[in-house]
Structure formats: C-alpha cells, structure tokens
C-alpha cells in the first residue's frame, strides 16, 4: 500500500515510519497541504493521509476518486475539513477517534502552573540574571475550586490531576459520568454554579452548536473576579473579544489558551517574520497574565505513537478486510 502524506511536519515522521515499516506500507511525505492545487500529487497512491488544515472538499474528493485513491486517512479526531457526505460511496474516510488523553490534560495543568506561579516570567528574568521576585507571587492550588466543563476522556484525567493537587473539583457535562461522580472525585453542578464558584475553569467539551462561545460576555460576568480560564479544547468555545474585555477590566485573573477561534492560518507555522493581522490575538498575547501555546497540547511522543499506530492500522484494516471501525460516515 502506498500513502501520500500531506502537511508533513518533522515530528510526524518517526512514529509513522516505525508503523509503516511494521505493516509493510510505503509513505511519501509532502510538506504541502492537500487542496485543489496539490491533489495531482496523489496520483499513483492508494490513500492520502491528512491533518486539520488540509482542504478535502467535493472537488478534491472527486479528483482523488478519479485518480484511484481509495481512502482518506485523517491523523486526528476532528473531520470538519472533509466533505464526508460527498465522500460517501466514493472514497472511505478514516480517523483517529482517541489518543493519549494524558497529553492534553497534562498540558492543561502545565499551563495552569506556569501561569499562576509566573514561571513564564521567571524564566525570562533569570536568563537576564534578574533574580528579583517582585511581582512573582502566586497562589496555592491546594484547597482551590476548579470547574471542569466536559468530563470525557480528557476532562476526567484533568479532574483526577486536580484531585491529586487537593483541589475541590466541580464538573459540568451534558451527559454526566456517574462512575466519576460516585468515586467522589468530582461534584456535578449546573453551568451557572461552575461560573459562580470556580476560581479556575477548564474547558474540555467538544465544539458544537451548544458550546459555541460557551464562555461569552454573559458567562464571564457570572464568574468570580480573578478567575483563571484554561482552554485546551477548541478556540470557538471562547468569545476572544469578550475575554479580552474581561481581562482589561481586571475581572479575569489569567487565561491560558492552547486554541484560538481564528487559529487556522496562524498556528503550526512560524509567523515571526510577519505582521500579525489579528489584533485580538496580538493584544491577548501582549497581556502579562495570558499564555498562548499553538495547539500543542496533543504533542507528546505517546500521543504521536497512538496517532500513527491507529492511522496505519485503520488503512491496513480497510485494505485487508474492506472494513474499518474508525470509518466516518456522514450520518455520524
């Protein structure tokens, strides 16, 4: 089997090479993203492997099918960039529904600790031999109340980590996990109680119509003054303009963002030589109490291994048996 791999980053290759060799699969890596201009590169391949910013629209799907490509293997969970409905019956769409939840949950805690213990400031100071502690006062997490919104795979792990720190963990989920509640690790409450009681709020729910801008001006007005907001889930869960206003008004104490609503054209790439057009992101990054990472929470060796193993496994299963449990259908 021959796979054309698009939007390749250096960190993708070691794990994919390992599982390709085990499975006797050949991978050709392309740096370019898959779109209408680059689709001809897929000629002679059995499958394409794509990520979150490749454009797999109807025209690309039709051309892939005409070239004899039989599968689109997403090396991520989300598939909003693929016209799944159009692909039905023409070409199989496969994905990686789950990988190390520890990667994302641990990154969330890393951001929280960095923020409240001012590690990002201290690191820069000590490199300049500035050993002053002025302005670096943090606070203990022990005894604080954290509100976890979404207690699926990642939210549950994050809740357990917080429990380990001796925090009170409140949770909100459209579908509460009874076993988690019964274990005593979290107490499920309403969304308004999360806002009213939490000193720290962490988002781990998916982006849906229900959760779009779940953190907006109204929600922020219900939060405690000084609340720390963590978002390692999806950018559009937060109305960034409302967040910026609440930070300027000194109502939000700190924000840690691994995702941003308009991240598509910026994140994953080196834009350091460019003028940033997005004034809201630029202003957020300029704040002393905001930390932004570039959709990095998934990036651990273990998660990359899981992703490569599942992606190659998906393709082998499809080509050997005609079936794959991780195939996406438009009815999903």
Residues of the shown chain interacting with ligand NAD in the complex, contacts defined by CB under 6 A: 78, 98, 101, 104, 149-155, 172-175, 204-208, 210-211, 232-234, 258-259, 295, 297-298
- In this complex, which beta carbon is closest to ligand NAD, that of residue 25 or of residue 211? 211
Which one from 107, 118, 204, 234 is the annotated catalytic residue? 234
- In this complex, which beta carbon is closest to ligand NAD, that of residue 8 or of residue 233? 233
- In this complex, which beta carbon is closest to ligand NAD, that of residue 58 or of residue 98? 98
CB of 296 to ligand NAD, least distance (A): 7
Instruction: State the residue for tokens 């680059």.
Output: 38
- In this complex, which beta carbon is closest to ligand NAD, that of residue 26 or of residue 190? 190
Q: Report the residue closest to ligand NAD, judged by CB.
A: 152
Q: Let me know if 295 is a catalytic residue.
A: yes
Which one from 86, 107, 204, 295 is the annotated catalytic residue? 295
Q: Let me know if 234 is a catalytic residue.
A: yes
- Give the catalytic positions in this structure: 234, 263, 295
């Amino acid at each position: 089997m021959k796979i054309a791999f698009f939007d390749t980053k250096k960190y993708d290759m070691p794990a994919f090479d390992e599982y390709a060799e085990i499975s006797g699969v050949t991978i050709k890596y392309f740096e370019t993203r898959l779109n209408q201009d680059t689709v001809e590169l897929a000629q002679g391949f059995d499958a394409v492997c794509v990520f979150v910013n490749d454009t797999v629209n109807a025209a690309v799907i039709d051309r892939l099918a005409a070239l004899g490509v039989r599968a689109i293997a997403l090396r991520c969970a989300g598939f909003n960039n693929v016209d799944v409905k159009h692909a039905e019956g023409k070409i199989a769409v496969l994905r990686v529904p789950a990988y190390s939840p520890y990667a994302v949950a641990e990154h969330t805690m890393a951001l929280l600790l960095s923020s409240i213990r001012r590690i990002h400031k201290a690191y820069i100071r000590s490199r300049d031999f500035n050993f002053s502690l002025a302005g670096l006062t943090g606070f203990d997490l022990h005894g604080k109340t954290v509100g976890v919104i979404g207690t699926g795979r990642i939210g549950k792990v994050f809740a357990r980590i917080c429990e380990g720190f001796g925090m009170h963990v409140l949770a909100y989920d459209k579908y509460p996990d009874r076993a988690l509640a019964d274990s005593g690790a979290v107490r499920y409450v309403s969304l308004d109680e999360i806002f009213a009681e939490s000193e720290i709020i962490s988002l781990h729910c998916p982006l849906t119509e229900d959760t779009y801008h779940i953190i907006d001006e109204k929600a922020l007005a219900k939060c405690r003054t000084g609340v720390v907001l963590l978002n390692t889930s999806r950018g559009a869960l937060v109305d960034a303009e409302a967040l910026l206003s609440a930070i300027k008004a000194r109502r939000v104490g700190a924000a840690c963002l691994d995702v941003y609503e308009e991240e598509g054209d910026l994140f994953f790439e080196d834009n350091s030589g460019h003028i940033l057009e997005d004034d809201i992101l630029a202003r957020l990054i300029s704040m002393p109490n905001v930390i932004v990472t570039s959709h990095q929470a998934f990036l651990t060796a273990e998660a990359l291994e899981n992703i490569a193993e599942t992606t190659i496994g998906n393709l082998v299963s499809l080509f050997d048996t005609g079936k794959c449990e991780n195939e996406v259908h438009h009815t999903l």
